[in-house]
Chain A
Amino acid sequence: MTLEAILLNGLAVITTGLVVGAIFSLVAAGVTIMYGTIWLPNASNGQFFMLAALLTWSMVIGWGLSPFLGAAVVIAGAIPFSLLLEKCLIRPFYNVPNRNIVYFIMTLGLAQIFAGAFTGTYGQWTDNYSIPAAWPGALMIGPFPFPRTRFLVLLVSFSLLTGLFVFLRLHRVGRALRAVFQNREAAILRGVDVRRIYRFSFVLAMLVITTGGVLFAMAYGFDLTMSWTMAIIAFAIMIVGGPGSVLGSVVIGMIFGFTQAAVSLFASPTLATFSYLVVMLIILLVKPSGLFAR
């Protein structure tokens, strides 16, 4: 290979790793917050991700809004939606023993409902969804043209992740949230209103997942198969990174992103997908609490 070719491939790997990794990390962060605080393993996270992406698509293609406006609307809409969900389906189980299993099964049901609704509506309209570049053109990094939109997606997701970090570390509510991560009972003793924290973290997590979906829709074309793939990947990252650990989900998310990007240079991508599952299983067996568990 010529030097230029090597440079081209190298930059491709880096940028792809970053973009894909960032989106994975976002969704996984949402899932992990949900599980860490509320003890809610959200099997329908993939569907929520999908919902966000599809709605963005509708806004842009259907209503002809600008991608940015569409994104904003969808993300804003996520708040009341998640509040409603919390009230109807999540809150009633806050005091149920081994509620994680209950939640798991219920969200699996939820996933079915959404899947059905999607195929019954969007599925009738088209088989592939893609929105025009929000910011057309590309930045030249050496020989490698990096599409502006995906650069934007990168910026947004990273600033979001950092924001999430700072919030959890420094802000009062964020600290309370982490207190609940670490030790529910202790948090209660210290007078944290756990139910409020639960509700808050659910909405927060939903927001993060929604944003992930929106960003994905901006960066890539997508179809209805994406939801289940995303659900599994997010779970995988959560398991490996350690439930409740945003740091874990970011680190592992990035690793996932980069492996997916790099592996095709050396091995078959199919092999990569398969290896995730194996790694995940080993981690589950060796350290069920995950690598970054507190």
Chain B
Amino acid sequence: MAHRRAAVVALTILALALPFLFAGNRFYAFILGITYLYILWSSGMNLLSGFTGLMPLMYAGLAGIGAYTTVNLVMKASVSFWLAMPVGALAAAVVGVVLGLPSLRLRGFYFTLSGLVIQTALTMLFVYVPQFTAGDTGISQIPPPSIPLPGRTFPLTGVWLEETLAVAAVLTVYLVRWITRSTLGTYLVAIREDDLLTEALGIDVVRNRVLAFFISSLIAGVGGAFYAHYMGFVSPRSFDVLTSLNTWLIVGFGGQGTILGPIVGTLILAPIPYLLQELYLYKDIIYGGLIVFTTIFLPRGVYGSFLFYRRTRAAARAAASPKPEVARS
């Protein structure tokens, strides 16, 4: 599929170029930055909710752990962001794995529910350990990351910060894409479809689930770290259940279990709160309406429905012609 590869390359280049195209207007550049953050987050969550069939409602909490760990290391221990961020991500990943363990016992909805509980607990935790989080007043004046060059350090401000986010987002999408095409990806889908059968076929369900949680939480943590140092501010409210739901909605709206789905979802949903500033009284209603609308009309999400439509058409053709061609997602 040559044209496909070409499209992927083109998209990548565009994604990396956009920050410079938007450099003129800091406002749109900022929205772009947020969009990259959510592409990163939603792709990470998609690995669980889409490909593994588990809806991790504690996702924002994990991002929070990544963020707070990084911020504390940078601001208190004055560690370089580039060393602190991996530590934060790792912390998030470990916690994510631990909090993911219920999924080995709890099926489907009960796991979702436990996620809700865990998320609430984490948010409370952030509020009530002020020595790390400054409580509900939050941590402000978080410095932007900087690159240590020989002689001097080059602070990533303005366009360079967005560019960093762009790179991070692109890498994440590629990572997720690579995983879903790897053996692990196949296993995750198999587990989602029928975990008993998968186990009976000789595939270690527990190991693969844990792996999925690890990677997904890692991404959450990375996103959290970038979020903190991009916004320059974090508070427990930045990582509450609504953030989890936002991220999930983006994935669901775009199309779970597809690579492009979360990206499409982000491009449509992430900028809304910023572009609809004047409609502040209606934002929540519009937002909630979108959720209801999605569940009712687009159970597969925007891009997902498109793929579904294409696949069913292909299947119809397959039924007709002896040499069928199957659309792959």
Does chain A bind chain B? yes
Most buried by A among B108, B116, B245, B294: B116
Tell me, yes or no, whether A281 is within 8 Å of chain B by CB: yes
Q: How far is the CB of B28 from chain A (nearest CB, A)?
A: 26
A105 to B291, Cβ gap below 8 A? Answer: yes
Encode contact with B along A88-106: 1 for CB under 8 Å, 0 otherwise. Answer: 0100100000101110111
Q: When A and B form their complex, what is the total count of cross-chain residue pairs whose Cβ atoms lie within 8 Å?
A: 105
In the assembled complex, the Cα of A239 lies from the Cα of B118 at a distance in Å of 13
**Nearest neighbor of B240 in chain A, beta-carbon distance:** A228
Q: Is B27 located at the chain interface by the 8 A CB criterion?
A: no
How far, in angstroms, from A89 to B288 measured CA to CA in the complex?
Answer: 14
Instruction: Give min CB distance, A223 to chain B, whole Å.
Output: 16
- CA–CA, A115 to B285, complex, Å? 8
The 0/1 profile, CB within 8 Å of B marked 1, for residues 257-284 of chain A is 0000000000000100110011011001
Q: Are B282 and A116 in contact (CB under 8 A)?
A: yes
Is B204 in contact with chain A by the CB < 8 A criterion? no
A110 to B292, Cβ gap below 8 A?
A: yes
Q: Mark A109-141, 1 if CB is under 8 A from B, else 0.
A: 111111111011000000000000000000000
Give, as a whole number of angstroms, the nearest-CB distance from B202 to chain A.
Answer: 27
Asked if A49 lies at the interface with its beta carbon under 8 angstroms from chain B, I say no
**Roughly how many angstroms separate A52 CA and B5 CA in the complex, as a whole number?**
56
Among B105, B113, B287, B292, the residue within 8 A (CB) of A116 is B287
Contact segment of B87-95, B120-128, B158-166, B183-191 = B120-128
Residues of B within 8 A of A273 (CB): 124
Q: Which A residues lie within 8 Å of B292 (CB)? A: 89, 106, 109-110, 113
Contact B295 A109 (CB under 8 A): yes
Interface string of A231-247 (1 = CB under 8 A from B): 01001100100000000
* A98 engages B295 (CB within 8 Å): no
Is the C-beta of A6 less than 8 angstroms from some C-beta in chain B?
no
* Cβ-neighbour of B284 out of A101, A113, A278 (below 8 A): A113
Instruction: Check B284 against A115 for contact (C-beta < 8 Å).
Output: yes
Is the Cβ of B291 less than 8 Å from the Cβ of A236? no
Interface residue? A41 (CB, 8 A): yes
In the complex, A1 has a CB within 8 A of chain B: no
Return A281 CB to nearest CB of chain B, in Å: 6
What separation, in Å, do the CA atoms of A288 and B288 have in the docked complex?
29
Indicate which residue in B112, B125, B282, B290 contacts A109 across the interface (CB closer than 8 Å): B290
Given contacts A92-B296, A105-B295, A120-B282, contact A112 B288 (CB under 8 A): yes
Kindly state the separation between the CA atoms of A273 and B124 in the bound complex, as whole angstroms: 9
Question: Looking across the interface, which residue of chain A has its beta carbon closest to that of B127?
Answer: A270
The answer to whether B283 touches A116, judged by C-beta atoms less than 8 angstroms apart, is yes
Q: Does B55 contact A (CB under 8 A)?
A: yes
Asked whether, in the complex, the Cβ of B55 is within 8 Å of the Cβ of A101, the reply is yes
User: 1/0 per residue A175-191: CB within 8 Å of B?
Assistant: 00000000000000000
> Interface code A56-77, partner B: CB below 8 Å = 1, 0 otherwise?
0000000000000000000000
Q: Is A168 an interface residue (CB 8 A)?
A: no
Report how far A222 CA is from B121 CA in the complex, Å: 23
Residues on B with beta carbons closer than 8 Å to the beta carbon of A79: none
Are A109 and B288 CB-contacts (below 8 A) given A277-B124, A284-B113, A288-B106?
A: yes
Bound-state CA distance A113–B293 (Å) is 12
Bitwise interface map of B from 102 to 114 toward A, beta carbon under 8 Å scored 1, else 0: 1001101110111
Report how far A218 CA is from B252 CA in the complex, Å: 40
Bound CA–CA A105/B250 (angstroms):
13
Q: Which residue of B117, B283, B285, B299 is within 8 Å of A281 (Cβ)?
A: B117
Give CA–CA (A150, B108) in the complex, Å.
41
Residue of A108, A114, A119, A232 ringed by the most chain B CB atoms within 10 A: A108
Query: Is B281 an interface residue, CB under 8 A from the partner?
Result: yes
B252 to A110, Cβ gap below 8 A? Answer: no
Q: Please give, as numbers and ranges, the residues of chain B lying within 8 Å of A278 by CB-CB distance.
A: 121
Find B121's partner among A41, A111, A270, A281 (CB 8 Å cutoff).
Answer: A281
Residue among B117, B124, B283, B285 with max Cβ neighbours from chain A (10 Å): B117
The reply to whether B289 and A284 contact each other, CB–CB distance below 8 Å, is no
A3 at the B interface (CB under 8 A): no
Inter-chain contact A236/B117, CB cutoff 8 Å? yes
List B177-211 residues whose CB lies under 8 Å from chain A: none
B286 CB contacts on chain A under 8 angstroms: 116
A170 at the interface (CB under 8 A from B): no
Q: Give the distance in Å from the alpha carbon of A280 to the alpha carbon of B113 in the complex.
A: 10
**A106:B117 contact, CB within 8 angstroms:** no
Q: Smallest distance from the beta carbon of A23 to chain B beta carbons, Å?
A: 20
* Top 8 A-B residue pairs of the complex, sorted by shortest distance between their CB atoms: A116-B284, A109-B291, A112-B288, A113-B288, A116-B285, A109-B292, A277-B121, A120-B281
Contacts A273-B124, A274-B121, A284-B113 known; list 12 others, CB within 8 Å: A41-B113, A89-B292, A92-B296, A100-B109, A101-B112, A102-B299, A105-B252, A113-B289, A114-B288, A235-B113, A285-B106, A285-B114
A interface with B by C-beta (< 8 Å): 41, 89, 92, 98, 100-102, 104-106, 108-117, 119-120, 232, 235-236, 239, 270, 273-274, 277-278, 280-281, 284-285, 288
A-B contacts, 26 of them at CB < 8 A, read A41-B109, A100-B109, A101-B55, A101-B108, A104-B112, A105-B291, A106-B292, A106-B295, A108-B245, A108-B291, A112-B284, A112-B287, A113-B284, A113-B292, A114-B288, A116-B287, A119-B281, A119-B284, A120-B282, A120-B284, A232-B120, A239-B117, A270-B128, A280-B117, A281-B117, A285-B114
